[in-house]
Amino acid sequence: MPSPKAQPAGKFRSLTLERRDDGVVVMSFFVPDHAQNVLTSEAMAELSLALDSVAAGPPPAAIVIRSTREGSFFAGADIARLEQLHGMPAEEITRLCAAGRAVFSRLSSQPWPSVAIIDGVCLGGGLELALACDLRVATDAPHTAIGCPEVKLGLLPAWGGTVRLARLIGPAAAVELTAAGENVDGPTAARLGLVDACVPADQADLSACRLAEIAAAQQSHIERRRRLARPVTLVAEEQDFLESMSAAVILGRSGGHYPAPLAILETILACCGTTADEAVAFEAAAFARLAKSDVSRQLIRVFRLGERNRRDKGLDDGSPGDSSPHADRVASSDVVPRNRPAVIGAGIMGAGIAASHLRAGFAVTLVDVQAETLAASVATILDEAAWDRGTKRTDPARAVALSGKLHTATRMAAIAECDLVIESVLERADIKRQVLAEIERTVGPTTVIATNTSTNPIAKLAEPLQDPTRFCGIHFFNPVRRMTLVEVIRGPATSDATVATAVAHVKRLGKCPIVVRDSPGFLVNRVLMPYLHESVEMLREGIEAKRIDRVARGFGMPMGPLELYDMIGLDTAFYAGLVLSAAYGDRIEASPLIPAMVKSGRLGRKTGAGFYQYRTGGQRARIDRPDEGVAKLVRPYALPARETTDATICDRLLLPMLLEALRVLDEGIVRDGRDIDLAVIHALGFPAFRGGLLAWGNSLGAAEVVRRLALLADLGVRMQPTPRLLAMAAANEPFTL
């Protein structure tokens, strides 16, 4: 703190307590052994001890709580503590909630005011800590993010957060912030009334002390405490709106699969009708129910998978379960950041990749030999790069600012000084090989060269290169802005350093990289194709497209397989299907219906017709109705009708995916089964509440999977259990950790 001088009054492992000459007590947190401040058991205990110390000394003028860890106020509760809750009795969980609330409540139970300085992430329990203070000052720094992400773990705030939030910003805003789980920045928090001031970071300490001084002089914090303790008055119209409209919106977002959003709505409404002291019991009871649910258990596991991925360098670290033959010989310090990226090809994918680089703060060079294509892509790239998630539209001022970082050229010489080049031209091996060879001739010897491909084997594309050790695949998914997964594909000659560099670069783009070994379809498309293939087989058996897709959505998929076909494009799926059929034709035969659809001009959304009719063309087109012309195309390829239930449709769609995932593990395509679960969630929208494909297999059990497959045995080899599955069933082994 600046003058007046601060004198140490006590030191703990997680915080430092200082008493200034003007009577202000400052608690500065830096929680050890964590990348960000988290509310560990130790941190909570030390906060309580620090408050004891303050209460035992001379009465302070005010208490200021801040963090000395850059970019982090508090990122929330310790996830390890949350993992333990599932096995606890509900009574023990509610007792823990009460204990945490009791510590926080001490911040606003003494005569002096308390102020939280929020600079950096302030999430979950961290926000509840800030809400427990009388006043809050946020910084306008880009790294300041405030929110309640508990819903993404299948939970709700449990230390008084829903109670305090509804009283501070109003029930409707509290429901939106908490049930959506999205973060807001400092200025937005100020507009909501979530914080009392939003200031530049270098003014935060002074502003906090000034607010506390005013509150102490006017005793305004005492009156505010009384007001926030009372019930919240809701007029009948607002009550009806929240109960009906908010519930409808929540169900529309969650599909009814996630109990936490509705529990948040119900809890906030219940808490409004009583005093704050009484309301916390509703909150704790709701939290205990959610904490013991399987949905929360799976969502916490998925969060852990994401944490594991963020730490992963993409190489074998020698830990149990690693199956990669590559030793981790590349230290983090050996991975040189790539700051001069280039993209070759200004088509849909190339433009999306270039936009992702701009969004992440890179200056990027984009090359395309077609001047018209290049010029036409610029506006799209800037629109994508300047997209504002909060307003759901492009920020024109940001687009103008980013335009200076986008360099375009029609000649390869423009990339001579670039240190990472991503080729994204047509998905034709002959063209790609030619372009890759030209890239290698143009760039320096240390430049990493990558290809964005969904089907072409890396080994084949590497053949014309003089140094294939610096070549790999970096496979983005469409649309690039929304899809977080990226497959980093290791070819036979790809070096560890190249893989580590590619993984590090993808993370700098804010994406989730999964390292896979070179093979037809890599990971995601290989696991996806059985799902798509089976839907067409059922269509040929006379099962309605709408029914197939409805069952898939009922399972939790974001869209059905036939809807997905239309979004991907039937022509794109046709070529990918040829590659996979050639490799795995015994179980993924190329369907004759897909080329017939392509020949008829039904390519999906982009042409306004596929398995469904669309009101307009383009990727944002909405389904109008099933395409009646499809039945005529199906007729020559019809299969005998089968008696079927919705449960059987679900098994036929998903069990072949599970079998393919086991083959991927057998072949060492991924280093760990957990990579499969993370990949299908991020790339295919596999329902996170089920934990991923292999976690879903765990929920059934290997023996049950074998039993269900036996009922489908007449469909042929695609429903035949693998040796690994039979061994797992015999030994009662799980699919994944």
Q: Where are the alpha helices (DSSP H) in 181-326?
A: 186-192, 204-218, 220-229, 236-241, 247-254, 259-272, 276-291, 294-311
Distance CA 342, CA 648 (A): 48
Distance CA 307, CA 305 (A): 5
Distance CA 461, CA 473 (A): 10
In this structure, the number of other CB atoms found within 10 A of the CB of residue 482 comes to 9
Q: Where are the alpha helices (DSSP H) in 273-343?
A: 276-291, 294-311
Q: Tell me the three-class secondary structure of 578-604, residue by residue.
A: HHHHHHHCCCCCCCCHHHHHHHCCCCE
| CA separation, residue 311 to residues 304, 307, 357, 514, 672 (Å) | 11, 7, 21, 12, 14
CA angle 94, 99, 104 (to 5 degrees): 125
The H or E element containing residue 157 is: none
Residue 443 and residue 475 in contact, taking contact as beta carbons nearer than 8 Å: no
Residue 561 and residue 553 in contact, taking contact as beta carbons nearer than 8 Å: no
Residue 570 and residue 688 in contact, taking contact as beta carbons nearer than 8 Å: no
Which residue in 75, 100, 97, 78 sits closest to 88, CA to CA? 97
β-pairing verdict for 387-388 and 420-423: unpaired
Place of tokens 């620090």: 50
CA angle 613, 615, 616 (to 5 degrees): 105
End-to-end CA distance of the chain: 47
| CA separation, residue 337 to residues 17, 108, 429, 657 (Å) | 39, 47, 29, 37
Of the residues 221, 326, 357, 475, only one is catalytic, namely 475
Residue 178 CB partners (closer than 8 Å, separation 6+): 148, 150, 151, 156, 157, 161, 162, 165, 264, 268
Q: Which two tokens stand for residue 386?
A: 């300047």
| CA separation, residue 49 to residues 8, 25, 100, 358, 587 (Å) | 15, 14, 13, 47, 64
Single-letter code of the amino acid located at 574: F
Residue 170 and residue 164 in contact, taking contact as beta carbons nearer than 8 Å: no
Q: Is 505 a catalytic residue?
A: no
**Three-class SS of residue 392?**
coil
What long-range pairs does 380-386 form, CB within 8 A, spacing at least 24? 380/351, 380/355, 381/351, 381/354, 381/355, 381/406, 382/355, 382/358, 382/406, 384/351, 384/352, 384/355, 384/356, 384/359, 384/480, 384/481, 385/355, 385/356, 385/358, 385/359
Place of tokens 């929920």: 699
Residue 382 CB partners (closer than 8 Å, separation 6+): 355, 358, 394, 399, 402, 403, 406
CA atoms within 13 A on the CB side of 627: 25
Distance CA 168, CA 172 (A): 11
| CA separation, residue 106 to residues 47, 162, 229 (Å) | 10, 18, 14
**Three-class SS of residue 287?**
helix
In this structure, the number of other CB atoms found within 10 A of the CB of residue 7 comes to 9
Q: Where are the alpha helices (DSSP H) in 8-157?
A: 41-56, 79-84, 90-105, 125-132
β-pairing verdict for 15-20 and 6-11: antiparallel
Return the active site residues.
475
